[in-house]
Amino acid sequence: MRLGTRTTLLLATALVAAGSAQAQDAPSAGGILRVATFEPLCLDLNEGSSRNSQTAMQDVYDRLISKNLDGTFHPWIASAWEISEDGLTYTFTIRDGVIFHDATPLDAEAVRVNLQRWVDDKNAGGVPVASVAADGATVTLTLSEPYSPLLHDLSEPQLGLVSPTSMTEFSKEARCEGGPGVTAGSGPFRVAARAVGQSLTLERNPDYNWAPADAAHEGPAYLDGVELRFLAEDAVRVGAVESGQADIATVIPAIAVPAIEANSALQLLRTEQPGIPWSFWLNQSKAPLDDQRVREALRIGVDFAGLVQAVFLGTATPAYGAITPGIPWAYVPEFEGAWRFDAAAAQALLDEAGWVPGADGIRVKDGVRLALRDVSAVNWNNQQRELFAQGIQAGLQAIGVEYTRDVLDFASVDQIFNNNEYDIVDTSQAAGDPNLLFGAFFSTQTWAVSNTNWGFVNDPALDAALETGLHSADQDARAAAYREAQQIINDNAYLLPIANNQVLVAARSSVNGVIFHNSGQIGSYHGTWLAP
Amino acid sequence: MREILVRILAGVAVLWAAASLAFVVLQLLPSDPVQVIYGADSTVTPEMRDRIRAEYGLDLPVHQQYANFISRLVQGDLGESYQQRRSVVSIITSELGSTITMAVLAVGFAVTLAVLSALLTAGRRGFWRWLISGIELVAIATPAFWIGILLLTFFSFRWAIFPVMGDSSWRSLVLPVATLGLSLFGTLSQVMRQEMDMALEQPFALTARTRGLSEWALRWRHALRHALIPGLTISAEMFGALLGGAIITETVFGRPGLGRITLQAVRNQDIPVVIGVVLFAALVFVTINILVDLLYRLIDPRVQRAGA
């Protein structure tokens, strides 16, 4: 079960090797990159933000700071920044000479307008912002309490900088629909055309001269443009890249991997999904999962590792911690193999907890059947999870647990969460910072305050570790805090992590310089080029 | 004329009923629109919740909300999408062109094929009838999703005749239209042939034959008319349903259209869009029904006489 880390290392080496092989040829400029992917709904990320829109628009909107895959921060629109001793005041120096696509200068005032809008409209995504001010070439952001993931948040595509002129000149409706002249960022590509439901065409910004300090090259992008074609059907995206109609297809299903790997005209790019693995959040506010023995019985009562291999076909590893290998500095490889499938031990735990087999084989206690309701949202689901859940159902049936899984639309699951009518929530959460655990496990962060502590975990020791991780500015201290948090989560079986999934992208062999962003999605096309 | 006016008034009543029903269902939905409007990606403070409720008029008493809803409808305002933050009318109109194009072409394709196959095979036995009936059965039994994937696999991925990317000319329409048209063709063709079979056994057919009318002329001039009545009814219904959106075909081929919008809206409980599409579909059905009634009179003089 140590395989997980080794696979990660091999993958990392493979990516580096691919990078150096490409470096032998000089990048050639020109060409349109055709990408088969999903549609962003709203092109103004402040109005309506989804992973699809963030990925599609990351090359249109620049951010203050760039976060490298290795977790380090680099200057971008902010040429420098300072953090006060108490961790409350962040002062950013704004780079000179940057202009938006609509010729508005990107100065300190423009940055302030963007940050203020984020505070006003989005409550700053939960960041405790006290004030935002601009003075000359600097922007000062003051917090009411220390919040160490701030730089990370500012590096995310969601906080892409939008031209203040377009904010005042166009309605939010027009900005959401977007289009040339309306959608105005400062990135290496600008919007050339949008056909809603069909495609989004980006063209090179010839003036671009402010790439992040960790970018592969300075100056404008190599590509003339990028055409994003929206094909929601897995088989069609794969077919498009296999037949050469697309250069890149995103979100490749595991089942298509062998054919792509065997095809010499294609390359399969993969990275670990950062964040919380695909897991079961276990509702501890009520019976039966308020009993730790039952939670532990679930963890060892099903052959999760075997199912991961059978269903994900080598595109995922069994998960044993609350953070995936996609955030290397917070991932704890020592947890691998922390528990193993043992149906007899699981049965013994359930016996001990007072659940005895009833007439139909399902266990009963005080006249109540051991039936667990798992709830997930349509948008969080995919075919593989569907298949996997069938395996779980069979496995749990064998130890006398009835398991049902309801996959519903978002508003329905919202209601079920509000009414506490579930035992399990299954999903994964993607983000490049382990502070994700705060929203998922801190005692106050329940669904009632729009966060995801679905388990109603209420553990002072865990709260303390998560708070240290949130407030400490020291990376080593943060890593230690999140390690402790994950240890507590495992010791008490607060979460049942299942699979660390990989993000899979297929590309034609002629495509070079594709990178991943630390959100686990495909990254900027600024350094991407097509071999002639 | 008076009859048509009555039909139109009845149509308006149907629309009002559809709108009211949609409003009632909306009230019965347990979910909180604010969470839908905001999405799951941000924390909503109670003040923000109140502000959104006020912005969308969700804080008003129910009867007030209903009055506002109906009066906005009368003015042709269907509200604003929770998800896209655009007006529902502009969403529907921007998708409508592509939906109509697809619906017209697909129904045209299906009707042409069905008329041809009915003319060729009605009242006959043998290989051709056997073959065409077989094709109809396959077309009916195969889900549109699968027909689409098969057509794509061969005609786009393998032979690159009709691209699925990078082309918005007529070529990009061929496969989606064929997919939609094939699944309509099966039913239509079966019904029309059955009608023609029956017509060809009627006494008038015998009379016409004894008059020396050729077999083709008999089929073309007389029997086809009989088959057109049910054919028209079914085609009109199909057309109406297609204007509500061809969800599967649009998803497989990544095309814009009302079906894709509906699917998205239902998934995300974007209520204003769902209601908008429901009302639009009701409007289409009412209109089509009136038009079809008028067309019957042209095709079948008996209807006109009975109505007069």
pLDDT tens track for A191-231:
999 988 889 999 999 999 999 999 999 999 999 999 999 99
Residues of A with Cβ-Cβ distance to B45 under 8 angstroms: 123
- Give pLDDT tens digits for B62-96: 888 888 888 888 888 888 888 777 888 888 888 88
Q: Locate A80 and state its tokens.
A: 């420098």
Which residue, A46, A43, A47, is CA-closest to A192? A43
- Give pLDDT tens digits for A306-349: 999 999 999 999 999 999 999 999 999 999 999 999 999 999 99
> What does the pLDDT read at residue A6?
35
Q: State percent of chain A over pLDDT 70.
A: 95
Residues of B with Cβ-Cβ distance to A122 under 8 angstroms: 42
Averaged pLDDT, B15-25 = 87
Instruction: Say yes or no to pLDDT of B301 above 80.
Output: no
- Taking CB atoms and an 8 Å limit, are B254 and A229 in contact across chains? yes
Residues of B with Cβ-Cβ distance to A123 under 8 angstroms: 42-45, 48
Partner residue opposite A48 with nearest CB, options B30, B85, B255: B85
**Binning pLDDT at 50, 70 and 90, where does residue A49 land?**
low
Q: What is the CA A207 to chain-centroid distance, rounded?
A: 31
Output A414 or A11, whichever has higher pLDDT: A414
- Give pLDDT tens digits for A245-254: 999 999 999 8
> What does the pLDDT read at residue A172?
83
> What does the pLDDT read at residue A7?
37
Cis ω on the peptide bond leading into residue B301 (within 30° of 0)?
A: no
> Which candidate in A33, A243, A380 is best for mutational testing of the B interface (most B CBs within 10 A)?
A243
Instruction: Say yes or no to pLDDT of B3 above 80.
Output: no
| Coil, strand or helix at A15 | helix
Please give the backbone phi and psi of residue B151, each rounded to the nearest 5 degrees, phi first.
Answer: -60, -45
Q: Which residues make beta-bridge pairs with A426?
A: A280
Instruction: Say yes or no to pLDDT of A2 above 80.
Output: no
Q: State percent of chain B over pLDDT 90.
A: 9
The ipTM, to two decimals, is 0.78
- Give pLDDT tens digits for B90-123: 888 888 888 888 889 999 999 999 999 888 888 7
Instruction: Say yes or no to pLDDT of B41 above 50.
Output: no
Averaged pLDDT, A173-192 = 93
Instruction: Say yes or no to pLDDT of B218 above 50.
Output: yes
- Taking CB atoms and an 8 Å limit, are A449 and B84 in contact across chains? no
**Binning pLDDT at 50, 70 and 90, where does residue A50 land?**
confident
> What does the pLDDT read at residue B38?
64
Helix (H) or strand (E) holding A418: helix A410-418
Helix (H) or strand (E) holding A383: helix A383-398
Write out the residue limits of the CATH 1.10.3720.10 domain(s) in chain B. 89-304
Distance from CA of B274 to the nearest CA of A (A): 14
**Binning pLDDT at 50, 70 and 90, where does residue B289 land?**
confident
Task: For chain A, give the mean pLDDT.
Answer: 91
Partner residue opposite A239 with nearest CB, options B32, B83, B157: B157
| Coil, strand or helix at A249 | strand
Residues of B with Cβ-Cβ distance to A245 under 8 angstroms: 156-157, 160, 163-166
Architecture of the domain whose range is B89-304: Orthogonal Bundle (1.10)
- Give pLDDT tens digits for A229-277: 999 889 999 999 999 999 999 999 988 999 999 999 999 999 999 999 9
Which residue, B264, B251, B244, B250, is CA-closest to B36? B264
Query: What is the reported pTM?
Result: 0.84
Averaged pLDDT, A509-522 = 91
Q: How far is CA A60 from CA A177, A181, A228, A528, in A?
A: 15, 12, 13, 15
What does the angle CA A191 – CA A196 – CA A197 come to, to the nearest 5 degrees? Answer: 130
Which residue, A128, A131, A188, is CA-closest to A160? A188
Averaged pLDDT, B291-307 = 73
Q: How far is CA B129 from CA A366, B117, B132, B185, B193, in A?
A: 67, 8, 5, 15, 10
Q: How far is CA A302 from CA A2, A372, A388, A389, B60, in A?
A: 20, 14, 11, 11, 51
Q: Which residue of B has its CA nearest to A408?
A: B267
Distance from CA of B205 to the nearest CA of A (A): 51
| Residue B175 identity (one-letter amino acid) | L
Q: Which residue of B has its CA nearest to A37?
A: B254
| B20-79 residues touching A, CB cutoff 8 A | 29-32, 35-36, 38-45, 48
Question: Which residues lie below 8 Å from residue A406, measured CB to CB, with a gap of 6+?
Answer: A373, A374, A375, A376, A416
Please give the backbone phi and psi of residue A496, each rounded to the nearest 5 degrees, phi first.
Answer: -110, 95
Instruction: Say yes or no to pLDDT of A4 above 70.
Output: no
> What does the pLDDT read at residue B45?
65
Cα–Cα distance, B36 to B44 (Å, whole number): 11
| B97-136 residues touching A, CB cutoff 8 A | 98
